[in-house]
Amino acid sequence: MSEVQKPAEETPAVVPETTTTAATETPAVTEPVAAATATPEEPVKAAEEAPAAEEPAKEEPAPKEITPATDGQLGYKAPGLVKSFRFVKRHFWFSEEPVESKQLISYFQNEKLSFAHPNAAWASQTGKGLLFFAKRAEDKANPAGIINLSDVTDIAKDGSNEFIFKLHGQKHTFQATDADERDSWIAAIEAKSAEGKAAKEEIVGGEGYKSELEKFST
């Protein structure tokens, strides 16, 4: 008898163990979003930004008012080798009052008669346009010198407190105590010179002047 065949034992299939490693989920790192820096809007720049405010114009100091001198003491250098060597103090003044020739004895002694006589004739009519001087203020009744300002030229400042002008081509130099006094004398002499030049024709053409001048020449 044939052997009864035993049914073949089924060998269970070996299922390999599958080790499932749970993936460790790493939470996504969320980088903080930088907060947008709010930039304030810049003001619109108009025409190359706003034009710079104009600086107020600087006020220039008003020119100092000069009061023309009327009289006073000045250092004086007359023309000539000896007289122009140093300053001598003299009292100078202006006056429109006529001066009689008998009051000018000292003047005639100290001035060339070619200048003294015409000036004395002018002074006998008016003091306008003349600059008188003497050693002292007390001697004003008897001037020791007369300068006819109608003939002066080139009036100018000289140094810090001096001024000059020319008379018949010769230089006369004056010294004040300071610049302000100097300027006041220049203002006065310029005004009196202009006044004398304007009146010269009338004065020297007058009968009184001619008559007085004739007395000196006889």
Instruction: Report domain extents, the chain.
Output: 71-217
With H, G, I as helix, E, B as strand and everything else as coil, classify residue 182: helix
* Residue 199 near residue 128 (C-beta atoms within 8 A): yes
Q: Decide which of 1.10.10.10, 2.30.29.30, 3.40.250.10, 3.40.640.10 is the CATH code for 71-217.
A: 2.30.29.30
pLDDT at 26: 47
* Residue 173 near residue 161 (C-beta atoms within 8 A): no
Strands 88-93 and 130-134: antiparallel
Structure-block tokens of residue 202: 């009338």
User: Which run of H or of E encompasses 119?
Assistant: helix 113-125
With H, G, I as helix, E, B as strand and everything else as coil, classify residue 105: helix
With H, G, I as helix, E, B as strand and everything else as coil, classify residue 92: strand
How far is the C-alpha of 166 from the C-alpha of 164, rounded, in Å? 7
How far is the C-alpha of 195 from the C-alpha of 165, rounded, in Å? 16
pLDDT at 54: 63
CA distances from 118 to 78, 114, 126, 203 (A): 19, 7, 12, 11
Angle at 154 between CA 151 and CA 159, to 5 degrees: 135
Q: Count CA atoms within 13 Å of residue 62 on its CB side.
A: 3
pLDDT at 57: 65
pLDDT at 23: 42
Which positions of the chain have pLDDT values less than 70?
Answer: 1-57
Sign, CA torsion 107/86/165/69: negative
Single-letter amino acid, residue 159: G
